[in-house]
Structure 1
Amino acid sequence: MELYTNLRAGEKGAWLSIGTYIILSAAKLIIGYFGSSDALKADGLNNTTDIIASIAVLIGLRISQRPPDDNHQYGHLRAETIASLIASFIMMVVGLQVLVDSITNLWNPIRETPSPLTAYVAIGSAIVMYFVYRYNLSLAKKIGSSAVKAAAYDNRSDALVSIGTAIGIFGAILGFTLLDTITALIVGIIIIKTGIEIFWEAVQTLTDAFDTEESETLSVLIHNVDGVIDLIDFKGRTHGNMMFIEVTVTVNPYLNVWESHQITENIESTVKRFKPYCTVVVHIEPHEFPHPVEDDYHF
């Protein structure tokens, strides 16, 4: 199945992110410590949370490839969402720790000027993460993976954080020593914000929330299918990258079984043209006309 092939291809992006984050976080933490830069150390901690998030995506992609079984008749596609939920908690805890350390340093400042090397490391990290972002974004578009796309946007935010870190360090080097700690404080806030956003998105998916714009678009498509008189019920939910739609439509009550079945086939093909990774379940109801009508609909 093409969906599972794409999930396997998505692992490349996760592995690239993991390897890059391991190298960058180690470099930032070590150089930030010896180079006396709170901002670079905070950025390094930010990358450690990204390692966890990338591993969560990788594990989720692996588990999501398991076929349906007796206990998981819709498959294991939500494993990725659960992994993201766990990663969001870890990110928020790390972000809170960065926040507490930064506030402590603001109240009890240690006036040390960061080494210029720390700024160069931050700039180099931003450049590397930008190229990782471009690769993962291209991969996400190619395979249609929302998880890899989310990872790409996380890569982009990390590049922006590193740029901000470099600016803060250069400011401290020029004499504004407090700017380095303030930058670390901002990085901590960004980590927590990212964790909250991932948490909220995961909760929305796990509680079967469905985008209202998607509902409206798909409802219009279904209502315009030839033979559908009315769309009286629409339900949607997502499992990982897979979308499940259940609809109830009314048709001419004088159609035979084969004609009604053709309408359901047309609905499924119409939705799949718009959303390839979508399973559609259609329930047919006879339309109640104000007055009896003759059978005027045939294929």
Structure 2
Amino acid sequence: MIKLLIRRYVKDYRNVTETKVRESYGVLSGMIGIFCNLFLFIIKISTGLLINSIAVISDAFNNLSDLGSSLISILGVKLSNRPPDREHPHGHGRYEYITSLAVSFVIFGVGLELLRNSFQKVIKPEEVLFNPISVSLLVISVFVKLWMFSYNRYIGKAINSGINRATACDSLNDAIATSVVIAGTLLGRVVNFPFDGVLGLVISVLIMYTGFGIAKNSVDLLLGSSPDPELINNIKSYVLEGKGIKGVHDLKVHDYGPGKISASIHAEVSHGANIVEIHSEIDDIEQKIKCELGVDIVIHMDPVEE
């Protein structure tokens, strides 16, 4: 289904290195997230109030925070795709990392508040009212979240988006959390134990852990984490495949946001080589790396003895 939506709403959807295409992917993903999470919030808050379950209510507000995260992610995509200007010659791609960090704060804050409420439920447990219809709605919500995990993972991989990868992880956690709530609701009918409050604690800790993980990854990217080893190897391989290239050194990679990676490398060539031919070969390599790896690269010729 997600592929059908992409083909319908994303023009030139295969050209994922193009700024406008990436923006369309991000907006589509965010809008789906808004509608799905609003639907889930309404289902879960109604169910939670109906059966008097703090665990289900906690899960509902988790979906509400996800809705807010989808709004922030759309804003992040719009900001990150603004063209370069005098103050930001390499563009605004890192806005996406900043919005991912903002999403993590929202997620962590919701988890902290739900932790407090769940702790109160453990101290003063209340009866959870079993309702087959409510449980059925929760089961439906699990499948919705699994679908959201699938489409966010697909888009995250397609456009190399940290926001979508983080959202995919969060969606999978939500599906697991809701499954645990369903199990606890059923067990609570036969076992005299405050499952509701305890499960609320588990869910809130899971939510905070997810927020912390997203924050750590975003901060690493903003500070300049080490480039992907696979990308490093691919760049070197492409350069070394060039005619007349004897070796490479001093590869530097700079990440200015998803789809906005710049690099420079020194290519060793024979000091007696035809400079015009080598220059033409290097131009071709730079274009190939740009098209196939999405990296803007500058290759410097270094003459070496045979």
Bin the TM-score by the shorter chain. 0.7 to 0.9
Find the aligned partners of 2:101 and 2:185 in 1 and give their Cα distance.
Answer: 33
Structure 2 gap ranges (5+) = 1-16
Contact conserved, 2:54 with 2:117, CA < 8 A, in 1? no
- Among 250, 272, 279, which residue is 1:254 paired with? 272
Q: Is the 8 A contact 1:268 1:280 kept in 2?
A: yes
1:115 and 2:133 correspond: no
Helix, strand or coil at the partner of 1:232? strand
Quote the residue 1:204 is aligned against.
220
Q: TM-score, normalised by structure 1?
A: 0.85
- Residues 126, 162 of structure 1: 8 Å contact kept: yes
1:47 Cα offset (Å): 1.2
Partner of 2:5: none
Q: Which residue of 2 aligns with 1:41?
A: 57
Contact 1:205 1:239 in 2 (8 A): no
Identical aligned residues as a percent? 25
Q: 1:147 to 1:110 in 2, by over 3 A?
A: closer
Tell whether 2:79 aligns with 1:78: no
The corresponding residue for 1:232 is: 249
Contact 1:64 1:78 survives alignment (8 Å): yes
Corresponding pairs, count: 287
For residues 80 and 4 of structure 1, the distance between their equivalents in structure 2, rounded to whole angstroms, comes to 15
The alpha carbon displacement at 1:33 in A equals: 2.9
Using the alignment, how far apart are the partners of 1:9 and 1:58 within structure 2? 10
Give distance in 1, aligned partners of 2:119 and 2:236: 51
Is the counterpart of residue 222 in structure 1 residue 239 in structure 2? yes
Counterpart of 2:149 in structure 1 is 133
Tell me, in whole angstroms, the C-alpha distance in 2 between the residues paired with 1:127 and 1:207.
37
Are 1:99 and 2:96 counterparts? no
SS in 2 for 1:173: coil
Q: Residues 140 and 85 from structure 1, CA distance in 2 versus in 1: closer, same or farther, beyond 3 angstroms?
A: closer
Q: Is the 8 A contact 2:34 2:71 kept in 1?
A: yes
Cα deviation, 1:60-116, whole Å, max 9, x if unaligned, reads 11112211111111111111111111111121122122223223332x132312332
Q: Is residue 268–residue 302 contact of structure 2 (8 Å, CA) maintained in 1?
A: yes
* Residues 253-272 of structure 1 mapped to structure 2, 5 A cutoff: 253-272=271-290
1:35 deviates by 1.8
Partner Cα distance (1:21, 1:47) in 2 = 5
State the alpha-carbon separation in 2 of the partners of residues 244 and 168 from structure 1: 50
Superposition CA RMSD, Å: 2.4
Please list every run of 5 or more consecutive structure 1 residues that lacks an aligned counterpart in the other structure.
294-299
Report the CA distance between 1:206 and its aligned residue: 0.8
Letter of the aligned partner of 1:259 in structure 2?
A: E
Structure 2 SS opposite 1:22: helix
Out of 174, 182, 205, the position equivalent to 1:166 is: 182
One-letter identity of the residue aligned with 1:81: Y
**Which residue number in structure 2 is paired with residue 296 of structure 1?**
none
Give the 3 Å change call, closer, same or farther, for CA 286–176 of structure 1 in structure 2. farther
1:131 maps to a residue whose letter is W
Candidates 41, 46, 50, aligned match of 1:25: 41
Deviations 1:110-147 (A, max 9, x none): 23123325433321211222233334444455556454
CA distance in 1, matches of 2:158, 2:299: 30
Q: Indicate the SS of the match to 2:301.
A: strand
Distance 1:237 1:49 in 2: 32
Please say if residues 37 and 118 of structure 1, whose CA atoms lie closer than 8 Å, have aligned partners that are also in contact. Answer: no
